[in-house]
Amino acid sequence: MRDAIRTGIALICLTIAICLALVFGLAYMRGEGWFDGPGERSLFIQPEPGETESGDAPDR
């Protein structure tokens, strides 16, 4: 009985760990632009050369 409980708890912990790795992995991949370019909420977004920090191109 105790082995079944330990196995169940281990499977639940493993499932949670896999889900968290998937969520953070996909968030990182999206932020790096692997899917459809970096989004506005991305932590990894870098301004394009010539853009200001607000994201607007400077007036010339």
Task: State whether residue 51 is helix, strand or coil.
Answer: coil
pLDDT for the residue numbered 54:
60
- pLDDT per residue, tens digit, the chain (60 aa), is 899 999 999 999 999 999 999 999 999 988 887 776 555 555 666 666 776 666 555 555
Cα dihedral 51/57/59/60 (nearest 10): 70
What pTM was estimated for this model as a whole? 0.53
Task: State whether residue 58 is helix, strand or coil.
Answer: coil
Where do the structural domains in the chain lie, given as residue ranges?
1-37
pLDDT for the residue numbered 18:
98
Residues in the chain, overall count: 60
User: Distance (Å, rounded) from C-alpha 43 to C-alpha 38?
Assistant: 9
